[in-house]
Amino acid sequence: MVRSGDWVLRTLANAWTILFFGFLVWNFFSLNSYDYLVAPFSAIYTAVLGMYVGTKEFERWHAMYDGKRHPGELFVFFWTVLMIFFVSASFKLGAEYAIPSEIVAVYIMVLSVFMLTERSKKLYANKKKRK
């Protein structure tokens, strides 16, 4: 059973990821002309992703999890590809193609959330085994 809130948060997380990636690439090649939007965009993205992941973990620990997989590995993979692209392009194209520090912070947050959810899954699996 899929609750409407699950669908809404998953759709928001996916939509904001696509929009944010597009914006970051646009901003990068515009020589950070839209740098004033990076922090608000980062905050919105972090909040939406945090709500989505937090809701999923709450459901897991309170026996409401539907068991469907929506792998966070894909978020980590795409973020890593994007960051490697930015670092490589910045190195090749020069210092004017800078990576805003907020983007590095969001990438670290994505990695941290992924690692925490992986640990949470293992702890939950161990808890279920003991019962």
pLDDT by 10s per residue, the chain, length 131 = 445 557 788 899 999 999 999 999 999 999 999 999 999 999 999 999 988 888 877 766 666 555 555 577 888 999 999 999 999 999 999 999 999 999 999 999 999 988 888 776 776 666 667 76
Question: 41: domain range?
Answer: 4-130
* Sequence-separated (6 or more) residues with CB below 8 Å from residue 55: 5, 6, 9
Do 124 and 116 form a contact (C-beta atoms < 8 A)?
no
- Number of domains into which the chain is organized: 1
